[in-house]
Structure 1
Amino acid sequence: MRMPAVLILIAALSGCADSHQWLPSQSVSTQQLNRTDKIIIATPVDGEYGDHVYKGSGRNTAQILYAAFARRSAGVTVDSEASSYDLALEKAKRSGQDILVLPTILHWEDRATEWSMIPDQVEVKISVIQVSSGAVISSGIASGESGIATFGGDHPQDLLPEPIEAFVSSLY
C-alpha cells in the first residue's frame, strides 16, 4: 500500500520542478571576457506566442542578462531600444564598447499553468560579439519550462536566470 502512495507523491512533486538549460552552439571560441571589457546588452524585441505579444519581455530579458554580467564587469550598460544585429553592432562601435550581447527571444509562452496544466516556456538565443571584429565569441540558447504545479505567480522570465548565469559564468 505504501509503494503506490510513494509513487504518486514522487510524480506530483516532479510536476512542481522547473527545468532550465543552456545549449551552447557548436562553434564556440575559447576567448574569455575580461572584467575591464565595456559590455553593451541589446534589448530584444518582445516575445510573442500566437497573436499575443508579451509586453516588457524584451526588457526583462535584457535586465536578467545585465544582472549576470554586472556581477563580473563594471562597465555594463543596456541599450533600451530593440534593434537589429547591424544597428546594435553599429551603436556598440559608436559608443566605444568592447562586447555586444545580442539576445533574441525565440519562444515566450506565459500560461495559467495552475489551471490549464500547460507549462510556461521560454527560449532565448544569446550571442556574445567582439565589437571590433564582429566575430561571435560565444552563442547558444537559454531555455526553460515551468513545472505543472506552479500555484500561480511563475512567468517565463523566472526560468531564465539559472541558464543565463551558467552561460555568463563560462565566459570569464
Structure 2
Amino acid sequence: MVQKIFAIALVVLLSGCASTYKHSELKQASEQLDPSRGVLIAVPEDGWYGDTRYQRSGQMTANAALAAFSKNAKKVDLTDRCEGAECLEEIDSQEYGYFVEPIILHWEDRATEWSGKPDRIEIQLIVYSTATNRQVANSSFTGKSSWFTFGGDHPQDLLAKPADEFVRGLYR
C-alpha cells in the first residue's frame, strides 16, 4: 500500500516537472529551406511584462534562433543594425538567402518556486526569402515553465526546444 501511494505521488510530482509548449502556424512554410543558403537573424526588441522590461531578452531570443538555425544552415549570423522587414532592403541576397525576424510577444519571469506561477513566453518567428522579399514561414510558440522547479529557471530556458522543432521542420 505504501509503495502504491509513493508511486502515485511520484507520478503527480513528475507530471508537474515538464515545461509545456504550444505551436501555431500563422503561415505554413511555402518551401523547404536550402541549408547551403545563409540565414541572417535580427535581434528583436526586449520583452516585457506589465511595467517590467527584461534586459537582454531580445538578445537571448536571437541567440536561441541562431542556435536552432546553426544546426541546419551552413552560415548563420545576427544583426542589430536594422529592425523587422526593413532589414530586407539592406541584405545581400547572395550572402543570405533567408532573413529571420523574431518578435517577443510576451515575456514573463516569475518566482515560480515559491509563487507557483510559471514563467511564460510567446515568440513569433517570421522567415523571409531575400530573393523575393516574401514570407516563407510565419509561426509562433508559447512556452510555460513547470510549476515544480528547483529555482533558477527563467523564460529564456523555454526558447531552445520549440525553436529547434520549428527550424528543423523548415529544413525537412
- Structure 1 length normalisation: TM-score? 0.89
Q: Say if 2:114 is the partner of 1:115.
A: yes
Q: Say if 2:50 is the partner of 1:20.
A: no
Aligned to 2:99: 100
Counterparts of 1:161-172 in structure 2, within 5 Å, are 161-172=160-171
Aligned to 1:50: 50
Aligned to 1:139: 138
Residue type of the partner of 1:69?
Answer: F
Find the aligned partners of 2:119 and 2:132 in 1 and give their Cα distance.
Answer: 37
**Superposed displacement of residue 12, structure 1:** 2.1
**Superposed displacement of residue 13, structure 1:** 1.9
Find the aligned partners of 2:97 and 2:150 in 1 and give their Cα distance.
Answer: 43
Corresponding residue pairs, total: 170
Corresponding residue SS for 1:45:
coil
CA RMSD of aligned residues (A): 1.9
Runs of 5+ unmatched residues, structure 2: none
**Superposed displacement of residue 140, structure 1:** 0.8
Corresponding residue SS for 2:100:
strand
Residue type of the partner of 2:32?
Answer: Q
Residue type of the partner of 1:67?
Answer: A
- Structure 2 length normalisation: TM-score? 0.89
Aligned to 2:65: 65
8 Å CA contact 1:128, 1:139 repeated in 2: yes
Q: Say if 2:25 is the partner of 1:29.
A: no
Corresponding residue SS for 2:147:
coil
Identity %: 38
8 Å CA contact 2:93, 2:131 repeated in 1: no
Find the aligned partners of 2:162 and 2:46 in 1 and give their Cα distance.
Answer: 19
Aligned to 1:84: 84
Residue type of the partner of 1:100?
Answer: F
**Superposed displacement of residue 97, structure 1:** 2.5
Corresponding residue SS for 1:98:
strand
**Superposed displacement of residue 82, structure 1:** 6.0
Counterparts of 1:149-168 in structure 2, within 5 Å, are 149-168=148-167
Runs of 5+ unmatched residues, structure 1: none
> In the superposition, relative to structure 1, how do residues 164 and 48 fare at CA in structure 2: closer, same or farther (>3 Å)?
same
8 Å CA contact 2:120, 2:144 repeated in 1: yes
8 Å CA contact 2:57, 2:156 repeated in 1: yes
